[in-house]
Amino acid sequence: MASSAAAAPSTHPRLRQIAAVQHRLELLLEAERDQLVLWLPVMVGAGIAAWFVLLRRSEWTAAMLGLVAVACLAAAMGRGGRANRAVAVGALAMAIGLGLVWWRAERVAAPVLPRPVVAAFTARVERVEPLVARELVRLSLSPIDVPALPRRVRVNLAEADAPVGLTRGAVVRLRARLMPPPGAAVPGAYDYGRVAWFAGVGATGRGFAPVEVVTAGNLDNGMRTALTRHIGERVAGSAGGVAAALATGDVGSIAEEDAEAMRAAGLAHLLSVSGLHITAVVGATMLVVMRLLALWPALALRVRLPFVAAAAGAAAAVGYTLLTGAEVPTIRSCVAALLVLAALAMGREAMTLRLVAAGAIVVLLAWPEALAGASFQLSFAAITAIVALHDHPWMRVFAEVREEGVLRRWGRGAALLLLTGVVVEAALMPIAVYHFHRAGLYGALANMVAIPWTTFVVMPLELLALILDGAELGAPVWWLVERALWALLWLARVVAAAPGAVRAWPVMPDAAYASIVVGGLWLALWRTRWRRWGAAPLAVGIGWAAMTPAPDLLVSGDGRHAAVRTEFGAMALLRDRAGEYMQNVLTENGGVKGAPMTLDGLPGARCSADLCGVDVSGRRVVMTRSAYLVPAVELIAACKRADVVVSERRLPVGCRPRWLRLDRDVLARSGGVAVGLRGGWTATVRRAGDEHPWVLAAGQKDVGAGLRRP
């Protein structure tokens, strides 16, 4: 009898410990039962992210099958516990997310131009986007008479070359230099190739005059273009560009220096139609409808005015979304607004984390690829941080309405606004560093002024001016709009010019970013004390990102452009004629703020018209800088003395540097390269065996031997 009792599983010390842990976990999940559903979009997003991180079809298939197996095993072992059910649902949601984005990538598949060409072709105009500040017109075209071209191409035209009648639906004949959608120039840079794949764009390029309109299209380019032009005629310069951006989402008329100031000041979100704009439109519509309907007592007594106002607000949100081009970020904001209006109509709390989760699920199911974009991450991080902060018991007590003096009430409101701004900036800063390699320090303070100013002054004035224009009485109000917008731009310039306003960062490792995201979500979505555990991965990710070394050498995928880090922390370019875009890419991804210098002006660099040699971090780097051939004997001798050799050409077999050779053949396989000369590491744009469809469509090959990731 005694031996039988000793053999019972419940008396084994290890099993008792496991049972105690399971019991404790069940108690924690029971306390958090209302929060578990919030993790559903997180797990779907984790599956989508896994598809982007994993490289091969075999890995995607294995991951999906493994997740389904985990879900089945957890369901079989559930026995009524929340933990096993949560694991089962989470694993299944991850599998759905992975499969969904894979299916989406295959579904949008379209031909991609294999190599640069100069082509004369006839095409139908799908979209016309004036870029007034750059004196360009961007066309989305569908070629008709050249089957070898992709189904959709994007072409920039000089404003002077755009003929009369170039409107949506027109058929035009033109000549253009086209190239495949470019991938990231260097590791960490913007990957337009991926974005173009999901947009169905197979080629981009520059069109040349003459451009002939073969068949006329619509009389104009739609209400959006007409409204943008109308606003530009009323308000000049960048102020008119900002006014147009607030109304239609068109940012093409904003001067680049003003757009950069808005970005540096943390105010760039005001230029893209997002939740702020949708909220202002919906709120104004509901207020006007409520006030007008309340003038009829008989109607007010028989009809639920909040329900009617919510319906009008929903119609305004949908109409505004269509007016601004129905871009994915705007649709996302519209969906969130409709969910909030539905909650108001049903008498529920207007803004909760459940509504945020529902909006995220809708977007991820419709556009799973949006998860990889900065827009999705910024918008949902901001709203999640705001709702989670104001849902905290301490914040509810601090923000509740009470009888107090005007000064205390205004002070409390200012403190709430500042605290909200600080929390939102803290939530958005890692995303800005990961995607844009920069972070603003004064964004919270700038937004304390800019958001109320835009919401309660600029947008109402602009709406009033547009209404009065129907009777040709809007000129005085447009003058006020212009003054208000110049004040907003002045604020952006002052904040951007402040010392330390923007801090540049090198490329953040993916794993560090993932750790920060996990920690932030853990802190935001749980309510009990174990939410504090999120501080650990958050601190690990921040520390990892802070200790990540900046590259000492950056080389573009074609080998034409390179930059080395100087001993003063600046970036020195190989070619002084590198375009502004390439200069920005090399400096931003090098973690440097400010204009770069050239190697010719770097002390210790020895440069000729064809070759440039420089010592960087104790290693000798030699680079070719012209298309002219260097005598083989001279080049081979330079290679022997060098640790790293970079060239846009194929180097001779005898060119054997001591460590790394980056010539045309190697770069064709690796793409752009970042090199840490101190630590002896390399990072490449392309990864060995990558089978993502935009990579395969571009005919990219495996990474060459001799390169390794840090």
Determine the residue type at 145: D
pLDDT category at 134 given cuts 50, 70, 90 is confident
Flag whether pLDDT at 702 surpasses 50.
no
Structure tokens at 554: 């950056």
Mean pLDDT of 359-364: 88
Please name which of 702, 643, 710 lies closest in space to residue 671, comparing C-alpha atoms.
Answer: 702
Residues 6+ apart with CB under 8 A from 468: 474, 477
Q: How far apart are CA 78 and CA 341, in angstroms?
A: 38
**Per-residue pLDDT tens over the stretch 292-311:** 888 888 777 777 777 788 88
Determine the residue type at 156: N
Flag whether pLDDT at 106 surpasses 90.
yes
Please name which of 262, 261, 244 lies closest in space to residue 253, comparing C-alpha atoms.
Answer: 244
Flag whether pLDDT at 197 surpasses 80.
yes
| Of 266-280, 408-422, 486-500, 616-630, minimum mean pLDDT range | 266-280
Mean pLDDT of 377-406: 79
Q: Are the C-beta atoms of residues 71 and 102 closer than 8 Å to each other? A: no
Determine the residue type at 376: F
Higher pLDDT, 31 or 543: 543
Instruction: Report the helix count and the strand count for the chain, using DSSP H and E.
Output: 26, 18
| pLDDT score at 413 | 77
Torsion, Cα of 366, 181, 129, 146 (10° steps) = -100
| 617 burial via Cβ count (<10 Å: 0-12, 13-18, 19+) | middle
- Full strand arrangement of the beta sheet holding 606-607: 606-607, 611-616, 619-624, 644-646, 660-662
Mean pLDDT of 264-278: 73
pLDDT category at 349 given cuts 50, 70, 90 is low
Q: pTM for the complete prediction? A: 0.85
Q: Considering the chain, what is the average pLDDT of its residues? A: 84
Mean pLDDT of 151-178: 89
| 514 burial via Cβ count (<10 Å: 0-12, 13-18, 19+) | middle
- In which element (H, E) is residue 143 found? strand 136-143
Q: Are the C-beta atoms of residues 548 and 509 closer than 8 Å to each other? A: yes
SS3 content of the chain, % helix, strand, coil (to 5): 55, 15, 30
Q: What backbone torsions phi and psi does residue 564 show, to the nearest 5 degrees?
A: -120, 150
Beta bridge partners of 206: 156, 177
CA 707 to the chain's CA centroid: 28
Higher pLDDT, 255 or 326: 255
Q: How far apart are CA 357 and CA 519, in angstroms?
A: 17
Q: Are the C-beta atoms of residues 520 and 534 closer than 8 Å to each other? A: yes
| Of 290-299, 690-699, 701-710, minimum mean pLDDT range | 701-710
| pLDDT score at 521 | 94
Q: Are the C-beta atoms of residues 559 and 663 closer than 8 Å to each other? A: yes
Mean pLDDT of 129-156: 88
Q: Are the C-beta atoms of residues 437 and 430 closer than 8 Å to each other? A: no
| pLDDT score at 260 | 82
Percent residues over pLDDT 70 in the chain: 92
Flag whether pLDDT at 517 surpasses 90.
yes
Q: How far apart are CA 190 and CA 188, in angstroms?
A: 7
Please name which of 589, 201, 582 lies closest in space to residue 598, comparing C-alpha atoms.
Answer: 582
Mean pLDDT of 108-125: 90
